[in-house]
Protein backbone atom coordinates (compact mmCIF):
# COMPACT_ATOMS: atom_id res chain seq x y z
CA UNK A 1 0.00 0.00 0.00
CA UNK A 2 1.37 3.40 -1.01
CA UNK A 3 0.81 6.23 1.48
CA UNK A 4 1.94 9.82 1.08
CA UNK A 5 2.68 11.32 4.50
CA UNK A 6 2.60 15.13 4.59
CA UNK A 7 4.39 16.77 7.52
CA UNK A 8 4.97 20.46 8.37
CA UNK A 9 8.27 22.09 7.46
CA UNK A 10 7.95 24.94 9.95
CA UNK A 11 8.41 22.89 13.15
CA UNK A 12 12.17 22.50 13.37
CA UNK A 13 12.65 21.30 16.96
CA UNK A 14 12.18 17.82 18.35
CA UNK A 15 8.48 18.26 19.09
CA UNK A 16 6.28 15.37 20.12
CA UNK A 17 4.43 15.69 16.83
CA UNK A 18 7.64 15.45 14.80
CA UNK A 19 8.78 12.40 16.77
CA UNK A 20 5.39 10.72 16.40
CA UNK A 21 5.36 11.34 12.64
CA UNK A 22 8.87 9.92 12.18
CA UNK A 23 8.19 6.84 14.32
CA UNK A 24 4.86 6.18 12.64
CA UNK A 25 6.42 6.35 9.17
CA UNK A 26 9.28 4.08 10.23
CA UNK A 27 6.96 1.43 11.66
CA UNK A 28 4.43 1.61 8.82
CA UNK A 29 7.33 0.77 6.51
CA UNK A 30 8.27 -2.12 8.81
CA UNK A 31 4.71 -3.42 8.39
CA UNK A 32 5.11 -3.39 4.62
CA UNK A 33 3.55 -0.07 3.65
CA UNK A 34 5.23 2.09 1.02
CA UNK A 35 5.56 5.46 2.77
CA UNK A 36 6.51 8.62 0.89
CA UNK A 37 7.15 11.37 3.45
CA UNK A 38 6.80 14.88 2.03
CA UNK A 39 7.83 17.93 4.06
CA UNK A 40 5.45 20.80 3.23
CA UNK A 41 6.94 24.22 3.93
CA UNK A 42 4.63 27.04 4.91
CA UNK A 43 3.49 29.35 7.67
CA UNK A 44 1.11 26.79 9.12
CA UNK A 45 -1.58 26.30 10.38
CA UNK A 46 -3.05 28.53 7.66
CA UNK A 47 -0.19 29.63 5.46
CA UNK A 48 -0.18 31.92 2.45
CA UNK A 49 -2.01 31.17 -0.82
CA UNK A 50 1.34 29.91 -2.18
CA UNK A 51 1.77 27.67 0.89
CA UNK A 52 -1.70 26.18 0.40
CA UNK A 53 -1.02 25.70 -3.29
CA UNK A 54 2.07 23.67 -2.37
CA UNK A 55 -0.09 21.63 -0.02
CA UNK A 56 -2.69 21.05 -2.76
CA UNK A 57 0.05 19.85 -5.12
CA UNK A 58 1.36 17.47 -2.45
CA UNK A 59 -2.16 16.05 -2.06
CA UNK A 60 -2.60 15.58 -5.80
CA UNK A 61 -2.28 12.09 -7.22
CA UNK A 62 -1.97 10.24 -3.91
CA UNK A 63 -4.56 7.50 -3.49
CA UNK A 64 -4.09 7.61 0.30
CA UNK A 65 -2.62 10.56 2.18
CA UNK A 66 -1.94 11.12 5.87
CA UNK A 67 -1.60 14.85 6.51
CA UNK A 68 -0.41 16.32 9.80
CA UNK A 69 -3.21 18.45 11.28
CA UNK A 70 -0.92 21.46 11.64
CA UNK A 71 -0.80 21.62 7.83
CA UNK A 72 -4.24 20.22 7.01
CA UNK A 73 -6.35 21.92 9.68
CA UNK A 74 -6.25 25.33 8.01
CA UNK A 75 -6.69 24.12 4.40
CA UNK A 76 -10.22 22.66 4.03
CA UNK A 77 -10.63 23.69 0.38
CA UNK A 78 -7.46 21.87 -0.62
CA UNK A 79 -8.57 18.71 1.21
CA UNK A 80 -12.06 18.84 -0.30
CA UNK A 81 -10.52 19.33 -3.74
CA UNK A 82 -8.26 16.31 -3.35
CA UNK A 83 -11.14 14.20 -1.99
CA UNK A 84 -13.19 15.17 -5.03
CA UNK A 85 -10.46 13.67 -7.22
CA UNK A 86 -10.55 10.38 -5.29
CA UNK A 87 -7.74 10.94 -2.78
CA UNK A 88 -8.44 9.56 0.71
CA UNK A 89 -7.04 12.19 3.05
CA UNK A 90 -6.56 11.17 6.68
CA UNK A 91 -5.76 14.03 9.07
CA UNK A 92 -3.31 13.18 11.84
CA UNK A 93 -4.47 15.65 14.51
CA UNK A 94 -1.88 15.80 17.27
CA UNK A 95 -3.84 18.59 18.96
CA UNK A 96 -6.85 20.73 18.02
CA UNK A 97 -5.80 24.06 16.53
CA UNK A 98 -5.78 26.88 19.08
CA UNK A 99 -7.44 29.20 16.54
CA UNK A 100 -9.23 28.80 13.19
CA UNK A 101 -12.08 26.61 14.47
CA UNK A 102 -14.18 27.11 11.32
CA UNK A 103 -11.36 26.10 8.99
CA UNK A 104 -10.51 23.08 11.12
CA UNK A 105 -14.14 21.93 11.29
CA UNK A 106 -14.43 22.06 7.49
CA UNK A 107 -11.08 20.32 7.01
CA UNK A 108 -12.04 17.47 9.34
CA UNK A 109 -15.43 17.10 7.64
CA UNK A 110 -13.75 16.84 4.22
CA UNK A 111 -11.28 14.18 5.37
CA UNK A 112 -11.76 10.43 5.09
CA UNK A 113 -10.99 10.18 8.82
CA UNK A 114 -8.98 11.58 11.68
CA UNK A 115 -6.13 9.90 13.56
CA UNK A 116 -5.58 11.07 17.17
CA UNK A 117 -2.71 10.16 19.49
CA UNK A 118 -4.93 9.85 22.58
CA UNK A 119 -8.48 9.55 23.84
CA UNK A 120 -7.91 13.00 25.40
CA UNK A 121 -7.18 14.66 22.04
CA UNK A 122 -10.02 12.76 20.35
CA UNK A 123 -12.49 13.97 22.99
CA UNK A 124 -11.21 17.52 22.57
CA UNK A 125 -11.85 17.37 18.82
CA UNK A 126 -15.27 15.78 19.26
CA UNK A 127 -16.25 18.48 21.76
CA UNK A 128 -15.22 21.24 19.36
CA UNK A 129 -16.43 19.78 16.09
CA UNK A 130 -18.85 16.91 16.79
CA UNK A 131 -18.41 13.22 16.20
CA UNK A 132 -16.05 12.33 13.37
CA UNK A 133 -14.50 9.15 12.04
CA UNK A 134 -11.89 9.19 14.81
CA UNK A 135 -9.18 6.57 15.22
CA UNK A 136 -7.07 6.62 18.40
CA UNK A 137 -3.47 5.48 17.88
CA UNK A 138 -1.47 6.19 21.07
CA UNK A 139 2.29 6.70 20.70
CA UNK A 140 4.61 3.81 21.35
CA UNK A 141 7.70 3.90 23.51
CA UNK A 142 11.21 2.82 22.56
CA UNK A 143 12.86 0.34 24.88
CA UNK A 144 15.50 1.87 27.15
CA UNK A 145 17.78 0.86 29.98
CA UNK A 146 16.53 1.72 33.47
CA UNK A 147 18.03 4.91 34.89
CA UNK A 148 20.72 4.59 37.54
CA UNK A 149 19.69 7.87 39.20
CA UNK A 150 21.80 10.35 41.15
CA UNK A 151 22.73 11.44 44.63
CA UNK A 152 21.25 13.92 45.44
CA UNK A 153 18.09 13.27 43.43
CA UNK A 154 18.09 14.64 39.88
CA UNK A 155 14.88 16.12 38.42
CA UNK A 156 14.46 16.49 34.64
CA UNK A 157 11.93 18.46 32.60
CA UNK A 158 12.21 17.39 28.96
CA UNK A 159 10.30 19.82 26.74
CA UNK A 160 10.99 22.79 24.49
CA UNK A 161 11.12 26.05 26.46
CA UNK A 162 7.62 27.33 25.68
CA UNK A 163 5.01 29.14 27.82
CA UNK A 164 2.67 26.14 27.53
CA UNK A 165 5.32 23.90 29.11
CA UNK A 166 5.47 26.12 32.24
CA UNK A 167 9.17 25.76 33.05
CA UNK A 168 9.06 29.03 35.02
CA UNK A 169 6.52 27.40 37.35
CA UNK A 170 8.93 24.54 38.00
CA UNK A 171 11.78 26.99 38.69
CA UNK A 172 9.59 28.84 41.23
CA UNK A 173 8.66 25.58 42.94
CA UNK A 174 12.29 24.50 43.14
CA UNK A 175 13.30 27.91 44.50
CA UNK A 176 11.22 27.12 47.60
CA UNK A 177 13.19 23.90 48.15
CA UNK A 178 16.70 25.27 48.58
CA UNK A 179 16.81 23.83 52.10
CA UNK A 180 16.90 20.34 50.50
CA UNK A 181 19.49 18.63 48.32
CA UNK A 182 18.65 18.14 44.63
CA UNK A 183 19.73 19.05 41.11
CA UNK A 184 17.56 19.69 38.04
CA UNK A 185 17.89 20.02 34.28
CA UNK A 186 15.56 21.84 31.86
CA UNK A 187 16.12 19.98 28.60
CA UNK A 188 14.63 21.42 25.43
CA UNK A 189 15.01 23.85 22.56
CA UNK A 190 15.51 27.52 23.39
CA UNK A 191 15.04 28.56 19.74
CA UNK A 192 11.26 28.12 19.36
CA UNK A 193 10.38 31.01 21.67
CA UNK A 194 13.62 32.86 22.54
CA UNK A 195 11.76 35.43 24.65
CA UNK A 196 10.28 32.77 26.94
CA UNK A 197 13.58 30.88 27.04
CA UNK A 198 15.20 34.12 28.26
CA UNK A 199 12.47 34.38 30.95
CA UNK A 200 13.29 30.86 32.13
CA UNK A 201 17.02 31.64 32.35
CA UNK A 202 16.27 34.93 34.12
CA UNK A 203 14.14 33.09 36.70
CA UNK A 204 16.96 30.63 37.40
CA UNK A 205 19.35 33.56 37.93
CA UNK A 206 16.86 35.62 39.96
CA UNK A 207 16.52 32.81 42.49
CA UNK A 208 20.28 32.14 42.47
CA UNK A 209 19.83 28.55 41.27
CA UNK A 210 22.50 28.47 38.56
CA UNK A 211 24.48 25.80 40.45
CA UNK A 212 21.40 23.59 40.88
CA UNK A 213 19.37 24.01 37.67
CA UNK A 214 21.01 23.44 34.28
CA UNK A 215 19.35 24.80 31.14
CA UNK A 216 20.79 22.45 28.55
CA UNK A 217 19.08 23.37 25.29
CA UNK A 218 17.75 20.57 23.09
CA UNK A 219 19.62 17.29 23.56
CA UNK A 220 19.63 14.14 21.44
CA UNK A 221 21.52 10.86 21.33
CA UNK A 222 24.02 10.10 24.09
CA UNK A 223 23.70 13.53 25.74
CA UNK A 224 19.96 13.02 26.24
CA UNK A 225 20.43 9.41 27.30
CA UNK A 226 22.98 10.54 29.91
CA UNK A 227 20.37 12.88 31.39
CA UNK A 228 17.79 10.10 31.52
CA UNK A 229 20.31 7.78 33.14
CA UNK A 230 20.98 10.37 35.86
CA UNK A 231 17.28 11.12 36.42
CA UNK A 232 15.26 10.19 39.50
CA UNK A 233 12.10 12.15 38.65
CA UNK A 234 10.58 13.70 35.52
CA UNK A 235 8.23 16.70 35.54
CA UNK A 236 5.87 17.76 32.72
CA UNK A 237 3.82 20.81 33.71
CA UNK A 238 2.25 21.57 30.30
CA UNK A 239 -0.98 23.56 30.45
CA UNK A 240 -2.26 21.51 27.50
CA UNK A 241 -0.90 18.25 26.16
CA UNK A 242 -2.47 15.81 23.71
CA UNK A 243 -0.57 12.87 25.21
CA UNK A 244 2.90 13.78 26.40
CA UNK A 245 5.29 11.27 24.87
CA UNK A 246 7.94 12.30 27.39
CA UNK A 247 5.81 10.54 30.03
CA UNK A 248 6.19 7.14 28.39
CA UNK A 249 9.81 7.98 27.60
CA UNK A 250 10.30 8.53 31.35
CA UNK A 251 8.59 5.25 32.22
CA UNK A 252 10.71 3.44 29.61
CA UNK A 253 13.70 4.49 31.74
CA UNK A 254 11.96 3.51 34.99
CA UNK A 255 11.71 7.19 35.98
CA UNK A 256 8.49 8.34 37.71
CA UNK A 257 6.67 11.42 36.43
CA UNK A 258 4.68 14.36 37.80
CA UNK A 259 2.13 15.73 35.29
CA UNK A 260 -0.63 18.35 35.31
CA UNK A 261 -4.22 17.22 35.84
CA UNK A 262 -6.61 17.90 32.92
CA UNK A 263 -4.08 17.16 30.16
CA UNK A 264 -3.41 14.16 27.95
CA UNK A 265 -0.29 13.49 30.02
CA UNK A 266 -2.62 11.99 32.67
CA UNK A 267 -3.65 9.40 30.06
CA UNK A 268 0.01 8.68 29.29
CA UNK A 269 0.75 8.12 32.99
CA UNK A 270 -2.38 6.00 33.42
CA UNK A 271 -2.97 4.15 36.66
CA UNK A 272 0.67 3.08 36.98
CA UNK A 273 1.17 4.75 40.37
CA UNK A 274 4.54 5.91 39.00
CA UNK A 275 4.17 9.55 39.99
CA UNK A 276 1.29 11.99 40.36
CA UNK A 277 -1.17 14.13 38.39
CA UNK A 278 -1.50 17.51 40.09
CA UNK A 279 -4.34 20.01 40.18
CA UNK A 280 -2.41 23.24 39.92
CA UNK A 281 -5.21 25.63 40.83
CA UNK A 282 -3.02 26.13 43.92
CA UNK A 283 0.52 26.69 42.66
CA UNK A 284 1.97 25.51 45.99
CA UNK A 285 0.80 22.00 45.09
CA UNK A 286 3.88 21.40 42.92
CA UNK A 287 6.23 22.65 45.65
CA UNK A 288 4.56 20.49 48.28
CA UNK A 289 4.62 17.40 46.06
CA UNK A 290 8.31 17.86 45.24
CA UNK A 291 9.08 18.40 48.93
CA UNK A 292 7.21 15.22 49.84
CA UNK A 293 9.13 13.25 47.23
CA UNK A 294 12.52 14.68 48.21
CA UNK A 295 12.02 13.98 51.93
CA UNK A 296 10.23 10.61 51.87
CA UNK A 297 12.45 7.66 50.85
CA UNK A 298 9.44 5.31 51.00
CA UNK A 299 7.54 7.47 48.48
CA UNK A 300 10.62 7.62 46.24
CA UNK A 301 10.95 3.84 46.32
CA UNK A 302 7.24 3.25 45.67
CA UNK A 303 7.17 5.57 42.66
CA UNK A 304 10.43 4.08 41.36
CA UNK A 305 9.16 0.49 41.73
CA UNK A 306 5.91 1.39 39.98
CA UNK A 307 7.82 3.07 37.13
CA UNK A 308 9.99 -0.04 36.70
CA UNK A 309 6.81 -2.14 36.67
CA UNK A 310 5.16 0.15 34.09
CA UNK A 311 8.30 -0.07 31.97
CA UNK A 312 7.56 -3.76 31.37
CA UNK A 313 4.13 -3.06 29.85
CA UNK A 314 4.61 -0.11 27.49
CA UNK A 315 3.18 -0.33 23.99
CA UNK A 316 5.61 -0.43 21.10
CA UNK A 317 5.41 1.74 17.98
CA UNK A 318 4.50 -1.38 16.00
CA UNK A 319 1.10 -1.31 17.74
CA UNK A 320 0.64 2.37 16.83
CA UNK A 321 1.46 1.69 13.19
CA UNK A 322 -0.80 -1.40 13.07
CA UNK A 323 -3.74 0.66 14.37
CA UNK A 324 -3.18 3.35 11.72
CA UNK A 325 -2.63 0.86 8.90
CA UNK A 326 -5.81 -1.04 9.74
CA UNK A 327 -7.80 2.24 9.76
CA UNK A 328 -6.55 3.60 6.43
CA UNK A 329 -6.58 0.31 4.50
Q: How many residues does the chain have?
A: 329
Say how far apart CA 68 and CA 242 lie, in whole Å: 14
Q: Tell me, what's the pLDDT at 11? A: 67
Say how far apart CA 184 and CA 8 lie, in whole Å: 32
Residue of 179, 185, 247 whose CA lies nearest to 215:
185
Determine the average pLDDT of the residues in 300-311.
98
Q: What is the pLDDT of residues 219-261, one digit of tens each?
A: 999 999 999 999 999 999 999 999 999 999 999 999 999 999 9
Element housing 68 (H / E): strand 64-68
Q: Tell me, what's the pLDDT at 145? A: 97
Query: Which domains, from first to last, does the chain contain?
Result: 2-140+316-328 (3.40.50.2000), 154-311 (3.40.50.2000)
Check pLDDT > 80 for residue 131: no
Per the prediction, the chain carries an average pLDDT of 95
CB 240 within 8 A of CB 164: yes
Q: What is the pLDDT of residues 24-58, one digit of tens each?
A: 999 999 999 999 999 998 888 888 999 999 999 99
User: Using CB atoms within 10 A of its CB, is residue 85 exposed (0-12), middle (13-18) or buried (19+)?
Assistant: exposed
Check pLDDT > 80 for residue 196: yes
Check pLDDT > 70 for residue 204: yes
Helices (H), the chain: 16-30, 49-59, 69-72, 76-84, 101-110, 119-129, 167-175, 194-206, 221-230, 245-252, 264-269, 284-295, 297-311, 317-328
Q: Give φ, ψ of 188 to 5 degrees.
A: 175, 165
CA 326 to chain centre: 23
Amino acid sequence: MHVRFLVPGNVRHGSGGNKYNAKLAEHLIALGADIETVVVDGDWPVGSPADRQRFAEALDGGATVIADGLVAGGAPDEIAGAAGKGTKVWILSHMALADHDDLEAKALAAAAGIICPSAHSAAELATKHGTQNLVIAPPGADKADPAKGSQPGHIVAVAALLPNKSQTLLVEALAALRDLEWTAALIGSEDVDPRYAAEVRAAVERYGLENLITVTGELTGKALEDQWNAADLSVLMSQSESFGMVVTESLAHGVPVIVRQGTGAVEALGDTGAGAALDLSDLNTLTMTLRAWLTDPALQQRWRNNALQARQHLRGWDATAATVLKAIT
